[in-house]
Structure formats: structure tokens, C-alpha cells
Structure 1
Amino acid sequence: MSRIVYVNGKFLPEEDAKISVFDRGFLFADAVYEVSSVLNGKLIDNEGHMWRLKRSLDELEMQHPASAEEIETIQKTLIEKNGIEEGLVYLQVTRGAADRDFTYPANTKPSLVMFTQKKNLLESPQAKVGITVITSPDIRWQRRDIKTVSLLAASMAKMQAKAAGADDAWLVEDGFVTEGSSSNAYIVTQDGTVVTRHLGNEILAGITRKAALRLAEEEGIKIEERSFTVDEALAAAEAFVTSATTFVTPVVSIDGQKIGDGTPGPIAQKLRGIYMEEALKAS
């Protein structure tokens, strides 16, 4: 049976789903998105994703296609229709369709698209052994705090990592790590302090980042929200990333150099464990 997707008020088989060639998401990447994880058929941290969606839309002066409650109802319907027990729901909002012009068109109706993907989140092989990353120049635009669909630079970084035999890339600007290509980046210093870049226009305010830092604080782990250099990362006791679909995943090498002993570190493993425990309780 074909996967069911949502397009502007209709639930459709994916092969019947269509968007106008004049849609500004297609022409200008004039669109934002969110990805919510699903465990046991339930959305995880979805309230945070709805808050960030609202912020992204407001920052771009884009009309809201529906209320958070209406969007969540659609998400849950898709989960049910596609039988998703474990995976994700992707949603995208564009400014809508209009004749091509760089200025924002007046009175366009935003487009809302959603689909699901089945994915193994709990028993991720990468989480067990850790991932390897390379460093890559951060060539993205200067408003990374807005979750737009303009992901070509991130895709290029991931392809660079793949060509180097690594799993992912950490992006670097002025000598400092900003974030992963699709995740927030962390190191753990030799004294056990978790360090991650402070919020600002340079990085995305990760929903899982917020949860992970809260859990670390509750566990009595010292946290520093500040910039860190590649050299600091290479000298760290351990490293990890967070994102909506990878939760907390250890990083075991950077640019071919082992971090710590080259195996998942205890703090990353602990945070992953308690995050998953909390997520499963909520589901």
C-alpha cells in the first residue's frame, strides 16, 4: 500500500501528491521545516518543534498555515494512516505559489506538506559504536537559527564526509565549531564539563539540545555554553551530537583522530540513556 502524505488539506497517496512549480519553496527555498520523532506511535518533544516552527515563520514574516493544534492533529493522523510505530514526521511550510519575483508576494496562501518515514531510532547501530566526523568550513548563510529548507551546504558537507570515509561533518567558522551538518555539537572536557556553542544566529536552537542540557543539569553535570575550537575538540575526553532523530549520539573521532579512547564516552552514553528513558515514558 502506498504511503499517505498530506498536501494542503488533503491526505493523498505519495504518487498523487503535487506542488505548483511556482511554489516559492521550490523557486527560492522560501520555506521552513520541522522533524518530529515518533516512538511507540507517539510524537516526541513535539511542543518544542511547534514552538520553533512558529518562531521560524515569524522571523521570515511568513503566514502560519494552521494552528499548532491543527498541525499536531494532522501529524497524528499521518502516523495512524501509515502505521508508524518508530520513525519521524516531516513537515514543511512554504510562502506559497506566486509568479517568480524576489520580493515577497502579497496575500499568498502558504503551502503545508507533511510525510512520515519509518526509521530505527532506539537501536541505532551508530549510537552503539559512535560516529566519526570531519571538519568542514561553514559556508551557510548567517541566519542558521531559522530552520529553512536551504540545506545544500549541509548536503555538500555530508558528501564531503562520505568521500572521506566519515559519518558526518562538524562545521567550522573562524576556527570555532558551530554545529554538525544536521545536529548540535558537544565536547566533554577532561574535567567532565559538557561544552556546546551558545545560542545565536550561528546555530539552530535544537529541541533535543534543550532537553539534553536540562537532563545534564539534573544529573549534576557541569555545562558551559560557549564557542570551542577544533583543537579543544581534539583534546576532549569525549564528544557527541544531538538531533531529533539521533537523540544523543557519541562522536569517537574527528578528522581521523580518536577522541578519548576512541569509544563512546560515559557522559554521552548516560545522557542518551536518560533521554530515551524519558522519551519512552512520554510515549
Structure 2
Amino acid sequence: MSRIVYVNGEYLPEEEAKISVFDRGFLMADGVYEVTSVLEGRLVDFAGHMARLKRSLAELDMAMPVTDAELEAIHRRMVADNGIEEGLVYMQITRGAADRDFAYPEGATPSLVLFTQKKALIDSAAAKAGLRVATLPDLRWKRRDIKTVQLLAPSMAKMAAKAQGKDDAWMVDEDGFVTEGSSNNAYIVTKAGTIVTRHLSNDILHGITRKAVLSFAREAQMKVEERPFTVAEAQDAAEAFITSASSFVTPVVEIDGTALGDGAPGPVARRLREIYVAESRKAAV
């Protein structure tokens, strides 16, 4: 049985889903997206994802195509129709279809698309073994705080890392500081036990999972510093990890061939993952 997807008011088998060839998401990457994780058939951090969606739309002067209540109802139906007990709901909003022009079209109707993916989020092989990452130059544009659909640069980074036999990439700015992973926020844990992650700015995505994890860390009396860190500092760290809606908290055990600690997932990352999963199960809606 094929997935049911949502396209502009219709719930369709994925084979029947269509978007105009003139949609600006296709022509210009003129669109934004969000990914909400699903645990036990319920939505995790949904309010946070919707708040970031509205911010992204506002930054691009793009209209919200439906009301908040309608968007939540669509998410819930997508979860139910596709039998998602554990997995992800992807949502994309574009400026809509219009004749090709760099100027924003007047009167275009935004396009709204949602689809689901079943995925084992809790019983994760990556979380058990840890990730090996390669560092690569950050080639993205300067508004990484907007969650746009223009993902070619991080896709290239991920493929370059895989070509080196690694699991993922950490991107590095022109000053030598790590910005974030190809599809996640990046952290290190110093030998003194401090969690370090880059501060919020236009240089990184304002991760919803990041916000929750840092809050849980502080509640657990862990020390947190939001500041840039270099590749060398990361390689000298006791441990490292990433966060995202699709991976929760996942340890990093190697950076550019240098093993961290004993080369196995560290205690801070493991504990934060336990806390995040437990709290998400309680708070999911």
C-alpha cells in the first residue's frame, strides 16, 4: 500500500500527487519546511515546529496557507492514515506557482505538501554505535536560520563525507569554527564536562530539538556554553553529539579520523538522549 500524501487540500496516494512545474519551490527553492517526529502516534515538539515555521514564512514574506488548527488536523490525519507509530511528518510550503521571475509574484497561492516516513527513532543503530564525521567548508547562504528547502550544499557535504567513509559532515566557517552538521546541530563536551554548542544567529538553524535538549541539560545541572568551537577543540573533547528531530540526541565518536574519548558514545550524550526520549513521550500531543 502506498503512502497517503497531502497536496493543497487533497489526501492522495503518492503516485497521484502532483505539483505544478511552475511552482517556485521547484524553480527557485522558494519555500520552507518543517519535520516533526512521531512517537507512539503522537507529535513531538509540535508547537515549537509551528512557531519556527511562522518565523521562516515571515522572514520570506510568505503567507500561511491554512490556519493553525487546520495544519494540526492535517498532521494528525497524515499520522493516522499512514499508520505512523514512530517516524516523521515532513511539511513543505512554497510561494506557489507563477511564471518564472526573480521578483516575488503577486497573488500566487502558496503550495502546501505533507508526507510521512516510518522510522525507528528510539531503537537507533547510530545512537548505539555513534557517528563518524568529516569536517568540510560551509558553502551555504548567510540565512541558515530560515529553514528553507534549498538543501543542495548540505547534501553535497553529506555525500563528500560518505565518500570518505564517514557517516556525516560537520560544516566549518571561514574562521575555522564549526557551524553545524549537514542536517543537525553540533555539540562537544569538554573534558571538564561542559556542553558547548554554537550560539543562535543567522549562521545556524534554530533547532527545536536543540532548544529542548539544552533546557533538559540545564535542568539536570549540566553546564552549558553557547559559543563557537574549532575543529581542534572538538577533536580534543571528551565526547560530542548532534541533535535533530529525526535523530534526537546521537553521539559522535570520531571527527576527521580522531576518536573521541574511548571511541564509544559518551555518558553525557547517552544521558541526554534518555532524558529527551522520556520527556518527549510525556509531552507529545
* TM-score between the two structures when normalised by the length of structure 2: 0.98
Which whole-Å CA distance do the structure 1 matches of 2:102 and 2:162 have between them? 34
User: Does residue 1:281 correspond to 2:249, yes or no?
Assistant: no
The residue type paired with residue 133 of structure 2 is V
Alignment length, in residue pairs?
A: 283
User: Does residue 1:124 correspond to 2:124, yes or no?
Assistant: yes
| Cα offset, 1:69, TM superposition | 1.9
| Cα offset, 1:282, TM superposition | 2.4
Which whole-Å CA distance do the structure 2 matches of 1:81 and 1:231 have between them? 48
Which whole-Å CA distance do the structure 2 matches of 1:137 and 1:66 have between them? 38
Which whole-Å CA distance do the structure 1 matches of 2:69 and 2:129 have between them? 38
Residue equivalent to 1:88: 88
Residue equivalent to 2:177: 176
Which whole-Å CA distance do the structure 1 matches of 2:144 and 2:195 have between them? 22
Residue equivalent to 1:11: 11
Residue equivalent to 1:260: 261
The residue type paired with residue 202 of structure 2 is N
The residue type paired with residue 257 of structure 2 is G
SS at match of 1:127: helix
Deviation digits for residues 76-104 of structure 1 (CA, Å, limit 9, x no counterpart): 00110111000000000000000000000
The residue type paired with residue 261 of structure 1 is D
The residue type paired with residue 272 of structure 1 is R
Residue equivalent to 2:227: 226
* TM superposition outliers: structure 1 runs of 4+ over 6 Å: none
Which whole-Å CA distance do the structure 2 matches of 1:157 and 1:171 have between them? 8
Which whole-Å CA distance do the structure 2 matches of 1:140 and 1:187 have between them? 22
Q: CA RMSD in A?
A: 0.6
SS at match of 1:57: helix
* TM-score between the two structures when normalised by the length of structure 1: 0.99
Which whole-Å CA distance do the structure 2 matches of 1:273 and 1:207 have between them? 17
SS at match of 1:141: coil
Residue equivalent to 1:114: 114
- Please list, as runs of the form range in 1=range in 2, the aligned pairs for 1:1-283 lying within 5 A after superposition: 1-173=1-173, 174-283=175-284
Which whole-Å CA distance do the structure 2 matches of 1:245 and 1:181 have between them? 13
What stretches of structure 1 of length at least 5 have no aligned partner? none
Deviation digits for residues 123-142 of structure 1 (CA, Å, limit 9, x no counterpart): 00110110100000000000
Deviation digits for residues 219-245 of structure 1 (CA, Å, limit 9, x no counterpart): 100110000000100110100000001
Report sequence identity in percent: 67
| Cα offset, 1:280, TM superposition | 1.5
| Cα offset, 1:2, TM superposition | 1.8
SS at match of 2:157: helix
Which whole-Å CA distance do the structure 1 matches of 2:26 and 2:69 have between them? 27
